[in-house]
Amino acid sequence: MQFITAVSRFILPAITLIIIIKCILSLWLGHPKEKTYGYIIDMIKGERYALNMWETSIGRGASCDITLSYDNVARTHAVFTRRIDGWYIHNINYVKWKKLAEIEGRLSRSSRKNTSSIIKVNGVKVEDKATVSDGDIITLGNVRLRFEVADDPVQKAGKRRKKSKDTVPAPVRQDMPLYDIDRRQEENGSYTVEAPERHTAPKKSSQPKIINKDTGEAFILCGNEVTIGKGRCDIKLSSRHAAKKHALLILYEDGWAVSDCSGKKGTYLNGKLITSPQLLFSGDVIAIGDERLFYEGGRR
């Protein structure tokens, strides 16, 4: 027994030290790297804010994670939360605002002036909270923001990967953030996919053009922006279902992209509703209303 005591006196502290140090080091150092889950783009100033936390407060005050210095934005206006089932925006002044509105409503029936706590997602007013998804336009007060997702919560990822197999260079198309070109270069590190296939993409024609499948009209794309719509646009449409200014073609560094500006009516690229600007590849079909436009041409 005495021998066992004499030995265990030193074995036990040694094992204790090993277990505790190994576990604590792993707890301290094995933490996953901070990720960027999405972006908020200030559409007035073109400022791009990364969302790298699960809960992000946004407002005028300096204590907010994202500070928007506009008078119309409340001190703390909204909270973006990333939950396991998707993204949400919370109107944190909702309760206060509702109470205020009730009091004011009783007094003068005019609560309209109180715009400071208004949140709209794609033009729809948010009361308590609402889900947001990639490409949504969010209005705080009168500041328009675009929301972009860089890393969806898990559930959607599985489906997405499956789909992406059908259309070739899918990763580029799906995850390509296409707003601010200059910034894109600076923040290159935060984009996860840098497709090597890009250089091998075929170059059929040096002049990209849009061909209206129904009328056979071709429109050679030039300049930096081309508008599509029923109204005064570069490419005129005749469909009843098209908006006055329905879609926009923008020239990026990597080529032309299509972006929807019709709001509810929607623009389809290869049969899929687009929610954010998407790069165009030769052979792509843009569907607006019941008209189909054919994109032909290489990329720069």
Partner 1 sequence: MRTITKRTYIVVFLVLAFFAGLGIMLYSFYANGGTWASNRANNHIYSGGELTVAGTIYDRDGEALVSTNRNERVYHEDKSTRMGTLHIIGDSQGFISTGIQTLYRAELIGYNFIDGIYKTISSDEGCDIKLTVDADVSAAAYKAMNGNKGTVLVYNYKTGEVICMVSAPTYDVYNKPTDIDTDKSGKYDGIYLNRALTGVFTPGSTFKVVTAICAIENIPDIYDRTFTCKGKYTTGKGKGDGDVICNGTHGKVNFERALNVSCNSVFAQLAIELGADKMTETVRKLGFGKSISLGKVKTVKSTFSLSGSTRLDIGWAGIGQYTTLVNPCQMLMLMGAIANGGQAITPYLVSSPSELLSSVTSPVSSNITLSEETAKKVRKLLRSNVKNYYGDSKFPGLEMCGKTGSAEVSNGRSHAWFTGFSVKKDLPYAIVVCLENGGLGYTHAIPVANKVMQAVAKMD
Partner 2 sequence: MTRKKRLEKGLAASTMTGGDRIRRKYKYVDRAFILTMLTVFQLVSFIPVVFSDGKVYFKIILQLLFYISFEWFYVGVMRIFVKKVNFELEFIAFFLSGIGLCLTASVNKDSMFKQLITVIAGILVYDILLWYLQDIKRVMFIRTPLAVFSLLFLGASFVYIRLFVGQINGAYNWLSFSGFSLQPSEFVKIAFVFVGAASLDKLLASKNIYMFIVFAMGCIGVLFLMKDFGTALIFFFTFIVISFMRSGDLRTLVFICAIALLGALQIIYFRPHVAARFASYRHVWEDIYGRGYQQTRVLIYSVSGGLFGVGIGNGCLRNVYASTTDLVFGLICEEMGIFIGVIIVVAFASIAIYAMISSRSAPSTFYSISACSAAAMILFQTCLNIFGITDLLPLTGVTLPFISQGGSSMICTWALFAFIKAADVRAYPKIYKTN
* Residues binding partner 1 (CB under 8 A): 2, 5-6, 9, 53-57, 63-65
What is the closest distance, in whole angstroms, from the C-beta atom of residue 115 to partner 2 in the complex?
19
Give the C-alpha distances (Å, rounded to integers) separating 112 from 5, 60, 101: 81, 21, 9
What is the closest distance, in whole angstroms, from the C-beta atom of residue 196 to partner 2 in the complex?
8
What is the closest distance, in whole angstroms, from the C-beta atom of residue 157 to partner 2 in the complex?
7
What is the closest distance, in whole angstroms, from the C-beta atom of residue 191 to partner 1 in the complex?
23
Reported as half-sphere exposure (CB side, CA atoms, 13 A), residue 175 has a value of: 21
* Among partner 1, partner 2, none, partner that 162 touches (CB below 5 to 8 angstroms by kind): none
Of 46, 54, 168, 181, the residue at the interface with partner 2 (CB under 8 A) is: 54
What is the closest distance, in whole angstroms, from the C-beta atom of residue 37 to partner 2 in the complex?
11
Q: DSSP letters of 50-107?
A: EE-SSEEEEESSTTSSEE---TTS-SS-EEEEEETTEEEEEETTHHHHHHHHHHHHHH
What is the closest distance, in whole angstroms, from the C-beta atom of residue 10 to partner 1 in the complex?
11
What is the closest distance, in whole angstroms, from the C-beta atom of residue 2 to partner 1 in the complex?
6
Give the C-alpha distances (Å, rounded to integers) separating 146 from 108, 175, 259, 277: 35, 15, 13, 11
Is 77 within 8 Å of 93 (Cβ atoms)?
yes
Is 89 within 8 Å of 78 (Cβ atoms)?
yes
* Among partner 2, partner 1, none, partner that 130 touches (CB below 5 to 8 angstroms by kind): none
CA neighbor of 146 nearest in space, from 100, 115, 177, 185: 177
* Among partner 2, partner 1, none, partner that 17 touches (CB below 5 to 8 angstroms by kind): partner 2
Of 62, 109, 113, 154, the residue at the interface with partner 2 (CB under 8 A) is: 154
* Among partner 1, partner 2, none, partner that 188 touches (CB below 5 to 8 angstroms by kind): none
* Among partner 1, partner 2, none, partner that 13 touches (CB below 5 to 8 angstroms by kind): partner 2
Residues 82-141 that bind partner 2 (CB under 8 A): 82-84, 90, 92-96, 129
Angle at 285 between CA 279 and CA 289, to 5 degrees: 110
Distance CA 238, CA 236 (A): 7
Instruction: For residue 114, count other CB atoms closer than 10 A to its CB.
Output: 13
Distance CA 288, CA 230 (A): 10
Q: Which residue, 129 or 245, is less far from partner 2 as judged by CB?
A: 129
Name residue, tokens 């329905």: 246
Residues 18-47 that bind partner 2 (CB under 8 A): 18-20, 22-34
Name residue, tokens 């081309």: 226
Contact footprint for partner 2 (CB under 8 A): 1, 4-6, 8-13, 15-20, 22-34, 53-55, 57, 76, 79, 81-84, 90, 92-96, 129, 153-154, 157, 196
